[in-house]
Amino acid sequence: MTAPVMEQADTNNQAAAGHLAAAGRWLFARGCEFRLGVVDVDALPPADRPEVAFAGRSNVGKSSLLNAITGQKALARTSNTPGRTQELNFFMLAPGLQAQGLEGAAWLVDLPGYGYARESKSRIAAWNRLLEQYLRGRPNLRRVFVLIDSRHGLKPNDLAMMDDFDRSAVSYQVVLTKSDKISQSALAAVTEQTLTALGKRVAAHPEILATSSEKALGIDDVRGAIAGLVELDALGYNRET
C-alpha cells in the first residue's frame, strides 16, 4: 500500500472512530437502568434486542467501568471484596428509546467475576453452568467485553474464559483496565503481548481498548464500540446532531 493510500485509510479510520464516539456519547446520554439479576437460565429476559456483556476476573474493575461508561456512580455495585457479583445483572441502555417496538437500545450484562476461590466449589460450578448456558443460548449477544487488568496482563483463567468464547462462537473484545496505573511503555508492551495472544483466536476482535475508569480514559472508545453494535438509525440517531 502506497503512502497516500495509507494516509487516506488512516483518515477514514479516524473519521469512523470519531463518528462512533459521538454516537456512543449520544446513546449513553439517554440513561441506563438496572432491571434484573438472573441466577437461573429460565429467568433470562427474551433475546429480542442487542446485548453486550462484560466479563473479567474478580476485582478487575467491571463495576467501575460500567459506572464510568453510563455516567452513574452507583449503577453497578463496587466493592473491595472480589467476587461480589454473583448473578447475571441486566441493565437497560437508553430505556426511553424504542426500536422495532421494543423498549431501550440494548441490554448491558454484568457477568460474575471469575478466578476468585473463596466461594465453595459447588457454587463456582453453578456459576460456570449458568455462564455456559447463557453464552450458548443468546443469539442476540453481539459481543463480550473481556476486562484485563493492564498491570497484570492475561492470566490462565482469562485464557480459559476466552477458550469458552471461542468454542461458543461468541465475539469478544479485550478491554485493558486501570491503564493509568502503569507507564505508556508498559501499556504498549501489555497491549502488544495481548494482541499476540489473541492472534489465532477465532472469536477475538482485533482491536484492544485501553481504559481508566478513575481518569475517564478510553471511556468514549467503549461507548463507541457498543454504539457500533446497536441499531442507531432505528433508534433515531442522526450523525449530524
The CATH number assigned to the domain holding 25 equals: 3.40.50.300
Q: Is residue 218 part of a domain?
A: yes
Q: Is residue 175 part of a domain?
A: yes
Residue 191 DSSP symbol: H
Q: Which residues have a Cβ under 8 Å from the Cβ of 186 and sit 6 or more positions away?
A: 150
Alpha helix (H) residue ranges in the chain: 3-28, 62-70, 121-136, 156-168, 184-198, 219-227
Q: Is residue 98 part of a domain?
A: yes
Give the residue from 224, 199, 240, 20 showing the smallest Cα distance to 12.
20
Give Cα separations from 119 to 57, 83, 84 (angstroms).
14, 8, 10
Q: Is residue 237 part of a domain?
A: no
Q: Is residue 236 part of a domain?
A: no
Q: Is residue 235 part of a domain?
A: no
Q: Is residue 233 part of a domain?
A: no
Domain containing residue 220: 3-227
Provide the number of structural domains found in the chain: 1
**Per residue of the chain (241 residues), what is the pLDDT tens digit?**
555 543 444 555 676 778 999 999 999 999 999 999 998 889 999 999 999 999 999 889 999 999 999 999 888 875 444 444 578 999 999 999 988 788 999 999 999 888 765 667 787 788 888 888 998 889 999 999 999 999 999 999 999 999 999 999 999 999 999 999 999 999 999 999 999 999 999 999 999 999 999 999 999 999 999 999 999 999 999 876 5
Q: Is residue 238 part of a domain?
A: no
